[in-house]
């Protein structure tokens, strides 16, 4: 098994420039983006911080801010500051710089694992498995759209540095959620058109989505720290898009034109070990959009339903009404519910065992 340092150098393209300073000449800017992909700088900054911590420590949280757009033609330098080294916790700050200008900042905390007799979690949403989701899309692979037959795009491949990731939209078991998911599908739009008059007033896409993610490589020999850094990379994918769903689909289709979307910050809380080469359910929701700022939450569950991480991001979502003379739309309100104990466990007041 290679060392943790060697694995980080290999998967995150980092090199040592000086004591606690690392750099990467790999800069990924997605097509149409204004700057470097946020997931890259998050993961590389976390990887740089990990290199300065004892291997007994595992990251449990990070908080970061995107400050400037990263340039494609300059290396990114990661300056790590050792804030604290304790018996149970250690803390690091990282500044990512290009040409001496800070483009990104990150604070992260590491902890030594210890046994605990207290545990609870929210259950995962009622979602079909990846295999069932694939089968559903395969069974509906072709359908008539304006007299023609077209293939449904049910999964994507996304580059994650030297690796690639399988993505599949999850299929909810709840019929109400299923109808909302249908509103954002390209085949629905092709069939019903891009005019709001083709949709009922009640047909508003919910600010909720869910995806299955998995790196399509076997990564048995990787340290847990590397899996967490790789997750930091993929956690930025599709997260902010959930904020737009109610405003661009269904009865609101064609009413708004997106002029700018960019991440402002990013936070992750790791609750349990995870593996990015196993299916992870990314359950996304947006509780608030206001002042052209959108807030997105992501709950991450492994294949066994264990809540392994929570992700939060705020982003800028500037838009214009396509009809300048149209009256401003009223604020949309969505109902939410408090947590409830599982019915089969309510009699003895115990949450379901993990």
Say whether 40 is catalytic: no
Say whether 241 is catalytic: no
CA distances from 182 to 100, 122, 171, 192 (A): 47, 26, 10, 11
The first and second tokens of residue 197, run together, are 């008059």
Cα dihedral 319→325→328→332 (10° resolution) = -70
Angle in degrees, 0-180, between the axes of helices 38-51 and 4-12, rounded to the nearest 10: 160
Q: How many CB atoms lie under 10 A from the CB of residue 81?
A: 13
Given the residues 263, 283, 286, 302, the one annotated as active site:
263
- Of 182, 228, 195, 187, the C-alpha closest to 58 is 228
Given the residues 109, 225, 236, 241, the one annotated as active site:
236
Say whether 265 is catalytic: no
Q: Could you tell me which residues are beta bridge partners of residue 338?
A: none
**CA–CA dist 190, 131 (Å, integer):** 27
For the chain, the first-to-last Cα distance in angstroms comes to: 31
Q: Output Rg (C-alpha) for the chain, integer angstroms.
A: 22
Catalytic (active-site) positions: 236, 263, 313
């Amino acid at each position: 098994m290679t060392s943790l340092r060697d694995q980080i150098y290999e998967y995150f393209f980092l090199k040592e420039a000086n004591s606690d300073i690392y750099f990467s000449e790999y800069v990924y800017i997605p097509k149409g983006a204004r700057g470097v992909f946020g997931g890259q700088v998050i993961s590389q900054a976390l990887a740089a911080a990990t290199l300065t911590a004892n291997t007994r420590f595992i990251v449990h949280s990070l908080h970061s801010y995107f400050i400037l757009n990263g340039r494609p033609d300059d290396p990114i330098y990661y300056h790590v500051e050792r804030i604290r080294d304790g018996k149970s916790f250690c803390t690091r700050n990282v500044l990512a710089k290009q040409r001496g200008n800070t483009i990104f900042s990150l604070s992260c905390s590491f902890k030594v694992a210890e046994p605990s007799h207290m545990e609870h979690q929210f259950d995962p949403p009622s979602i079909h498995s990846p295999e069932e989701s694939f089968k559903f899309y395969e069974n509906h692979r072709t359908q008539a759209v304006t007299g023609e037959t077209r293939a449904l795009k049910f999964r994507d491949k996304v580059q994650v540095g030297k690796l690639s990731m399988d993505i599949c939209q999850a299929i909810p078991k709840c019929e109400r959620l299923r109808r909302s998911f249908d509103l954002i599908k390209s085949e629905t739009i092709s069939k019903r058109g891009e005019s709001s008059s083709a949709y009922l007033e009640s047909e508003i896409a919910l600010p909720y989505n869910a995806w299955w993610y998995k790196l399509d490589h076997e990564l048995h020999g990787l340290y847990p720290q590397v899996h967490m850094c790789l997750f930091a990379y993929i956690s930025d994918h599709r997260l902010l898009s959930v904020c737009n769903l109610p405003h661009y689909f269904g009865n609101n289709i064609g009413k708004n034109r997106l002029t700018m979307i960019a991440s402002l910050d990013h936070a992750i809380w790791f609750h349990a070990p995870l593996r990015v080469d196993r299916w992870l359910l990314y359950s996304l929701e947006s509780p608030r959009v206001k002042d052209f700022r959108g807030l997105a939450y992501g709950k991450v569950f492994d294949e066994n339903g264990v809540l392994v991480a929570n992700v939060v991001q705020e982003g800028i979502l500037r838009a214009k009404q396509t009809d300048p003379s149209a009256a401003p739309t009223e604020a949309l309100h969505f109902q939410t519910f408090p947590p409830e104990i599982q019915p089969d466990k309510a009699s003895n007041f115990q949450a379901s065992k993990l």
